[in-house]
C-alpha cells in the first residue's frame, strides 16, 4: 500500500501538461527518490481518467478500458509516494471521486490506509474562459465566442460545452466533489501566477507542492503554450464549420489540431490575444472573488497566493473573434494552406514509396496464388481415382511423420 498518494485533479489550462511531461520523462529519477509516477505511456493517466469517469473522447476511450484499475493497482502496490495527475479528473462526479480515493487506498480510520492528498492547480477565470473556448474550437466546435459566453452565464448550464466548462473550472464545486472527508491540510491549491510573472514561478510551486525539490528532474520538456490569437482561432472555427462533416475525428486530430492549430497557427506572432469582452469582465471578477473567499474560508493549504485568482483590469483594446479583421484571417489562412501543402508533399512522397512496396508484394502474392491454384488443380485430378486418393493419403501420412 502506498504510504502517500498525491492526486492532482486539475484544472485544465494551468500548466498541467508541462508538469505531466516532466514527471513522465523523469520516472527513473523519481523512482530512485522513492516516488512513483505509474505510466507506461505518456497519456496513461489521461486514459485512466477516461476509464474512471466513463468518458467518451473521440474514440480514444476504447484504449482506456481497464486503465484506471491498472493504475490504482500499481499505486496500491507501491510503498513510497505515488503521483497521479490529470486535469480532466476535475470533472469527476462525487461518486467517481469517492471511488477513486478508495481505489487509491484512502480508508478513513484504517491505520493501513494510504495518506491521500488532493492537489488542484487553479488560474483566474478571466484567463480561463477564453482559453477554454479556444480549446473547444480546437476540438471541432463551431460555437461562436458570443454564444459560448452566453451559455457559460446561463445558470441552467444547458449545453454540453457549458456543463463541461463548469465541471472542469468551478473551483469550489470541484473541491466539494473531491475533498469528501479529507482534512483541509491534505487539500492543496496551487495558484498560477498572474501574467508577466517569472516563468519559473509556477514550476517552483508545483515542485514544492509535489515534494519534488532536490530531485534531479528532466525539465527540458516543451513548455510552449500552444495558444491561438484572435484571427487564428476564428480561422480554425471557420475550418470546423466547413470540414466537420467531411473530416473524421481521427484525421482531424493530426491535421487540424496538431498541424494547423498547434504547429502552425500557434507559432504566429503579433495577432491580438483572445480575452474576455469588457462587458463580461465584471462578471468574471465577481465570480472569482466569491470563489477565493470560499476557498480561504475552508482553510486549505495554498501554494502561491489566493490573490492570483483575482483577475487584472479589463483590456484597453479588445478584438472580437466572431468579427475578426479579415486581412488578419487571410494572412493566417495563407500560412495554414502553406503548411497543408508542405504536409501534402510529404504525404505524396510517402504514398509513392508505399505504392512501390504494394506493387512488389502484389506481384509476389499473385505468383504464390497461381502456384497454389495449380497445386489444388493437380490434387483434384489425383483424387478423382481411387489409386490417386490412396496415394494422397500416403503422402499426407509421410508429411505428418516428417
Partner 1 sequence: MTDGAARAWGWLAHLRDGGTTTWPAWAGAAEPSARTLPGAQQLELLRRLNLQLRADAGPAARPQDALVERVLTTSPPGRGRPELDLVGVVPDRGWGYAPADPTLLPRPELVRLASALLAEDLVAAGGGRGQEAPQRPPARRFARRRPAVSGDPWRADLLRRSLHARGVRLGHPDAGLVVLGADLATMLTDSWTALAFSGRGRLTGWPAWVRQLPERDLLPRGADPAGLAAVRAERRAQRPGRAGDLGPESVRIVLDPALLPGLLRVRDLPPPPRVPADAVELARRVSATLALRVPRARGRHLMRGPFLARVDGLPGPALGVPAELHRWVQRQSRRQRRGLEDAGYPVHGDPGLLVADLRSLAGRDAAEPDEVGVLSLALRMLTGTERAHEQDEPGHDQHRHDQHRHDQHDDETGGTR
Percent helix, strand, coil in the chain, to 5, is: 60, 5, 35
236 contributes a contact to partner 1 by CB under 8 A: no
Q: Which is nearer to partner 1, 101 or 149 (CB)?
A: 101
Q: Which is nearer to partner 1, 160 or 348 (CB)?
A: 160
The b/e string for 336-347 (b: 16+ C-beta within 10 A; e otherwise) is: beebbeebeeee
The one among 59, 183, 344, 390 contacting partner 1 by CB under 8 A? 59
Q: What is the nearest approach in angstroms of partner 1 to the Cβ of residue 384?
A: 14
Binding letters toward partner 1, positions 140-159, x by CB under 8 A: ---------------xxx--
The one among 79, 93, 347, 385 contacting partner 1 by CB under 8 A? 93
Count CA within 13 A, CB hemisphere, residue 385.
6
Q: Listing from the earlier edge strand, what are the strands of the sheet with 115-122?
A: 35-36, 81-85, 4-8, 115-122, 187-191, 301-303
Find the binding residues for partner 1 in span 247-266 (CB under 8 A): none
Per the CB < 8 A criterion, the answer to whether 116 and 106 are in contact is yes
* E strand segments, 154-291: 187-191
Find the binding residues for partner 1 in span 336-375 (CB under 8 A): 362, 365-366, 368-370, 373
Q: Which is nearer to partner 1, 66 or 80 (CB)?
A: 66
Q: Which helix (H) or strand (E) holds 150?
A: helix 145-153
The one among 23, 53, 131, 230 contacting partner 1 by CB under 8 A? 53
Q: What is the nearest approach in angstroms of partner 1 to the Cβ of residue 80?
A: 28
385 contributes a contact to partner 1 by CB under 8 A: no
Q: Which helix (H) or strand (E) holds 191?
A: strand 187-191
176 contributes a contact to partner 1 by CB under 8 A: yes
The one among 19, 64, 233, 274 contacting partner 1 by CB under 8 A? 64
Per the CB < 8 A criterion, the answer to whether 120 and 85 are in contact is no
Q: Which is nearer to partner 1, 64 or 319 (CB)?
A: 64
Q: Which helix (H) or strand (E) holds 36?
A: strand 35-36
The one among 74, 96, 121, 227 contacting partner 1 by CB under 8 A? 96
DSSP 177-188: HHHTT--GGGEE
Q: What is the nearest approach in angstroms of partner 1 to the Cβ of residue 359?
A: 12
Residue 192: closest CA among 87, 105, 280, 273: 87
Cell of 346: 510529404
The one among 291, 308, 324, 328 contacting partner 1 by CB under 8 A? 291
- What CA–CA distance (Å, rounded) separates 319 from 323? 8
Catalog residues that contact partner 1 under the rule CB under 8 A. Answer: 50-51, 53-56, 59, 61-62, 64-66, 91, 93-96, 98, 155-157, 160, 163-164, 166-167, 170, 172-173, 176-177, 180-181, 290-291, 294, 362, 365-366, 368-370, 373
Amino acid at each position: 500500500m502506498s504510504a502517500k498518494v498525491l492526486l492532482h485533479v486539475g484544472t485544465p489550462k494551468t500548466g498541467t501538461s508541462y508538469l505531466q511531461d516532466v514527471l513522465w520523462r523523469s520516472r527513473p529519477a523519481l523512482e530512485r527518490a522513492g516516488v512513483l509516477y505509474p505510466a507506461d505511456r505518456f497519456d496513461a493517466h489521461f486514459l485512466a481518467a477516461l476509464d474512471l469517469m466513463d468518458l467518451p473522447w473521440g474514440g480514444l476511450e476504447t484504449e482506456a478500458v481497464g486503465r484506471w484499475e491498472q493504475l490504482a493497482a500499481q499505486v496500491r502496490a507501491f510503498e513510497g509516494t505515488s503521483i497521479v495527475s490529470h486535469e480532466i479528473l476535475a470533472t469527476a462526479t462525487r461518486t467517481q471521486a469517492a471511488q477513486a480515493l478508495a481505489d487509491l487506498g484512502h480508508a478513513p480510520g484504517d491505520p493501513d490506509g494510504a495518506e491521500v492528498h488532493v492537489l488542484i492547480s487553479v488560474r483566474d477565470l478571466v484567463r480561463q474562459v477564453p482559453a477554454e473556448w479556444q480549446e473547444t474550437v480546437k476540438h471541432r466546435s463551431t460555437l461562436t465566442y458570443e454564444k459560448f459566453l452566453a451559455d457559460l452565464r446561463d445558470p441552467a448550464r444547458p449545453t454540453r460545452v457549458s456543463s463541461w466548462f463548469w465541471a472542469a473550472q468551478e473551483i469550489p464545486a470541484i473541491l466539494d466533489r473531491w475533498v469528501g472527508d479529507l482534512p483541509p491540510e491534505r487539500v492543496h491549491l496551487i495558484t498560477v501566477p498572474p501574467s508577466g510573472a517569472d516563468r519559473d514561478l509556477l514550476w517552483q510551486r508545483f515542485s514544492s507542492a509535489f515534494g519534488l525539490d532536490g530531485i534531479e528532474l528532466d525539465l527540458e520538456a516543451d513548455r510552449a503554450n500552444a495558444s491561438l490569437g484572435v484571427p487564428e482561432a476564428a480561422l480554425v472555427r471557420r475550418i470546423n464549420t466547413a470540414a466537420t462533416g467531411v473530416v473524421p475525428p481521427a484525421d482531424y486530430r493530426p491535421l487540424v489540431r496538431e498541424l494547423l492549430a498547434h504547429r502552425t497557427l500557434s507559432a504566429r506572432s503579433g495577432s491580438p490575444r483572445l480575452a474576455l469582452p469588457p462587458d463580461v469582465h465584471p462578471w468574471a471578477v465577481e465570480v472569482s472573488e466569491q470563489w477565493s473567499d470560499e476557498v480561504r474560508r475552508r482553510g486549505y493549504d495554498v501554494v502561491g497566493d489566493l490573490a492570483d485568482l483575482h483577475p487584472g483590469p479589463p483590456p484597453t483594446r479588445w478584438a472580437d473573434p466572431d468579427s475578426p479583421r479579415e486581412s488578419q484571417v487571410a494572412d493566417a489562412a495563407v500560412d495554414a494552406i502553406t503548411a497543408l501543402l508542405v504536409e501534402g508533399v510529404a504525404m505524396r512522397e510517402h504514398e509513392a514509396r508505399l505504392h512501390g512496396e504494394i506493387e512488389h508484394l502484389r506481384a509476389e502474392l499473385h505468383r504464390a496464388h497461381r502456384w497454389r491454384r495449380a497445386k489444388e488443380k493437380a490434387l483434384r485430378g489425383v483424387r478423382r481415382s481411387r489409386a490417386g486418393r490412396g496415394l494422397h493419403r500416403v503422402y499426407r501420412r509421410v508429411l505428418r511423420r516428417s
